[in-house]
Copies of this chain bind each other. A is one copy, B any other.
Amino acid sequence: MKIGRQERRSSAISTSNAETILVRGRDLARELVGKIGFTEHFWLLVTGAMPSSAQRRVLDATLVAIAEHGLVPSVQASRMTLAAAPEALQGAVAAGILGCGSVVLGSSEAAGRFLAEIQARAAAGADLESAASAVVREYRAAKSAIPGYGHPLHRGGDPRALRLFEVAAETGVAGPHVAIATLVERLLPGLIGRPLALNVSGAIPAVLLDAGYPLTGLKGVPLLARTAGLIAHLVEEQQRAIGFVMSHAAAQAIDYDGEAPAGFKPSEEA
Could you tell me which A residues sit within 8 Å of B by CB distance? 1-6, 8-25, 27-30, 32-34, 36-39, 41-42, 45-46, 48, 57, 59-61, 63-65, 67-74, 76-77, 80-81, 83-95, 97-106, 109, 152-156, 159-160, 162-164, 166-167, 170, 214, 216-217, 219-220, 223-225, 227-229, 231-236, 238-261, 264-267, 269-270
Contacts and interface: CB of A to CB of B under 8 A. Distances in A.
Counting every copy of the chain, the complex holds: 4
A36 B228 CA distance: 15
30 contacts: A2-B248, A4-B103, A4-B152, A5-B241, A9-B245, A10-B256, A14-B258, A16-B267, A21-B159, A28-B68, A33-B163, A33-B167, A41-B64, A42-B231, A45-B229, A46-B231, A70-B270, A77-B77, A84-B101, A85-B88, A86-B101, A87-B88, A88-B98, A89-B106, A90-B98, A92-B98, A220-B232, A220-B234, A224-B224, A242-B254
A102 B73 contact: no
A268 B105 CA distance: 22
Which of A15, A45, A46 counts the most B-chain CB atoms under 10 A from its CB?
Answer: A15
B68 A85 contact: no
A13 B72 CA distance: 12
Contacts of A246: 250-251, 253-254
Given A4-B241, A45-B229, A223-B231, A17 B260 contact: no
A245 B241 contact: no
B73 A266 contact: no
Nearest to A268: B17
A17 to B, nearest CB: 4
B34 A247 contact: no
A145 to B, nearest CB: 11
Nearest to A266: B15
A73 B100 CA distance: 19
Given A38-B60, A219-B89, A46 B251 contact: no
A36 to B, nearest CB: 6
A11 B242 contact: yes
Contacts of A224: 224, 227-228, 231
